[in-house]
Amino acid sequence: MELPFSEPYKIKMVEAIYRSTREERERWIRDASFNLFNLRSEQVYIDLLTDSGTGAMSDRQWSAIMTGDESYAGASSFYNLKDAIWDITGFQYFLPTHQGRAAENVLFSVLVKEGDIVPGNSHFDTTKGHIEFRKAKAVDCTIEASKSPSVWHPFKGNVDTEKLEDVLKTTPAGKVPFIIVTVTNNTAGGQPVSMENIREVSALAKKYGVKLIIDGARFAENAYFIKTREKGYAGMEITEISREMFSYADGMTMSSKKDAIVNMGGFIALRDEKLYRQASTYNIIYEGFITYGGMSGRDMNALAQGLYEGTEFRYLESRIKQVEYLGTMLKSAGIPLIEPFGGHAIFIDAKNFLTSIPREEFPAQTLAVELYLEGGIRTVEIGTLLADRDPLTRENRFPELEMVRLAIPRRVYTYRHIEYIAAVASNVFDRRHSIKSGLKIKREAQIMRHFTVELERL
């Protein structure tokens, strides 16, 4: 028989998690005003809130921490990281930052001016925030297929090159500082972008004389999808594919809390020395000297090691197949999902799960609360609460999709945990018709309300 794949690591250290009772959870979620961000982590049995900074570091990463060099300037840890970034991305220049959004802040301080247009594929919310904060505009050019929950497309995160060329053609010269391609496309559900698409976008960037920047938070997962889905890449190493992806770009921003498997960190990597020098000034103002930029030496060491581990095929295979395993089990229970499954998370289509709850009563948040009550699982709403109110009319905005995201931390949970999650979700699905009403807002902030909102049951 064909041997199943299994995790390419074993466990050396464990952390206890508490399996609470339903009565405890009823009390805790009421005290948290039905907002899962308000729960203490001890009140959560399996935490699927995010895959960002929640991964488990390896013994090699922990030992790299012990040899971190904490010198202010020119630390060996900085050079270890520089070497790793060169090996994996082919970018010669790099600046450390404390996390991904800090990399955006530094690089965009050089590149983005008031009135600019920055096209891309579903900009991540902090990316969009850093563009809009500078009174520039982010224009989403993701392919139409990304908007339909069940349309199967191998690279559903792709840029629509016609939409992109339209933007480039109609925007006055000098008003597009760069195109940003996010791999994988997080906002569209962890969907990959093909090499062919990156190549086409790069050709358009050259044709119109604009830069191409890659938001590389999940570049290794993207490379895995290219290897397994795109013609011509099956025989290539993940690092070779990564280098090719980055070879089409002028630079990248990175949230190392994702594919570099560290708990905190980020960087900017660039090809052009002049741009690097300009960004260095902002790095010094906002983050720290150019050889540490908000990171301690030990953390840069762990990050360098994490970049190598995060681009190992066996590791990526076990991660992405674990996510897929969860999706397959939920699907066979009849639960409506967004397909194909993304790299880092499974998204439940809450509108089609809780069909009798109107959108004014937040079906996705109601479902997230039910998953918590059923089995102590913390997920996150990506729907009407997250979409906020229209800034002018103050009416609720109802996005196309009402989703609950189950993000899987890296190397943290076992297959048995995944089966537990699936059982919890199918129990809720089996009793979905008994969930007859949703939630109502008691108090909310002016913007970004989902973090602090207080809700009550109807």
Ligand X SMILES: *Cc1c(COP(=O)(O)O)cnc(C)c1O
Catalytically annotated residues: 72, 124-125, 215, 217, 258, 450
| DSSP states of 14-78 | --------HHHHHHHHHHTTT-GGGS-GGG-SEE-S-SSS-PPPPHHHHHHHHT----SSS-HHH
52 binds ligand X (CB under 6 A): yes
Q: Give the orientation angle of helix 238-247 with respect to helix 195-207, to 10 degrees.
A: 20
Cα 301 vs. chain centroid, distance in angstroms? 23
What mask of x and - would describe binding to ligand X in positions 92 to 111, judged by CB under 6 A?
-------xxx----------
Assess contact for 153 and 143: CB atoms under 8 A. yes
Tally of CA atoms within 13 A in the half-sphere of 122 that contains its CB: 20
Position among 58, 89, 126, 322 found at the interface with ligand X (CB under 6 A) = 126
Backbone angles phi, psi at 96, to 5 degrees: -75, 150
Tell me the window of 120-128, 188-196, 307-315, 380-388 that interacts with ligand X (CB under 6 A).
120-128
Q: Which two tokens stand for residue 290?
A: 């150019």
Contacts of 205 (CB under 8 A, 6+ apart): 178, 179, 211, 212
Whole-angstrom distance, CA of residue 23 vs CA of residue 11: 32
Of residues 254 and 304, the one with the C-beta less far from ligand X = 254
Assess contact for 221 and 320: CB atoms under 8 A. yes
Report in angstroms how near the CB of residue 264 gets to ligand X at its nearest: 8
Strands (E), 200-344: 211-215, 251-255, 266-270
Assess contact for 380 and 335: CB atoms under 8 A. no
Position among 54, 58, 61, 186 found at the interface with ligand X (CB under 6 A) = 186
Report in angstroms how near the CB of residue 291 gets to ligand X at its nearest: 20
Neighbours of 110 (CB within 10 A): 18
What mask of x and - would describe binding to ligand X in positions 359 to 378, judged by CB under 6 A?
--------------------
Of residues 343 and 363, the one with the C-beta less far from ligand X = 343
Whole-angstrom distance, CA of residue 47 vs CA of residue 418: 11
Element (H, E) at 96: strand 93-97
127 binds ligand X (CB under 6 A): yes
Of residues 126 and 296, the one with the C-beta less far from ligand X = 126
Position among 255, 301, 311, 366 found at the interface with ligand X (CB under 6 A) = 255
Q: Which amino acid is at 352?
A: N
221 binds ligand X (CB under 6 A): no
Q: Which two tokens stand for residue 110?
A: 């050089």
Of residues 101 and 298, the one with the C-beta less far from ligand X = 101
Position among 55, 96, 119, 266 found at the interface with ligand X (CB under 6 A) = 266
- Residues contacting ligand X: total by CB under 6 A: 15
Position among 43, 182, 365, 384 found at the interface with ligand X (CB under 6 A) = 182
Residue 135 φ/ψ region, left for φ over 0, alpha for ψ in the -120 to 50 degree band, beta for the rest: left
Of residues 124 and 413, the one with the C-beta less far from ligand X = 124
Position among 25, 128, 257, 405 found at the interface with ligand X (CB under 6 A) = 257
Report in angstroms how near the CB of residue 21 gets to ligand X at its nearest: 34
Report in angstroms how near the CB of residue 411 gets to ligand X at its nearest: 18
Closest CA to 429 of 359, 337, 346: 337
Using CB atoms, what's the residue nearest to ligand X? 100
Contacting ligand X within 337-356 (CB under 6 A): none
Of residues 215 and 361, the one with the C-beta less far from ligand X = 215
Report in angstroms how near the CB of residue 140 gets to ligand X at its nearest: 14
142 binds ligand X (CB under 6 A): no
DSSP assignment letter at 407? E
61 binds ligand X (CB under 6 A): no
Element (H, E) at 381: strand 380-382
Report in angstroms how near the CB of residue 253 gets to ligand X at its nearest: 7
Whole-angstrom distance, CA of residue 191 vs CA of residue 225: 9
Report in angstroms how near the CB of residue 186 gets to ligand X at its nearest: 4
Cα 96 vs. chain centroid, distance in angstroms? 19
Of residues 43 and 222, the one with the C-beta less far from ligand X = 222
Q: What are the residues binding ligand X (CB under 6 A)? A: 52, 99-101, 124, 126-127, 182, 186, 215, 217, 255, 257-258, 266
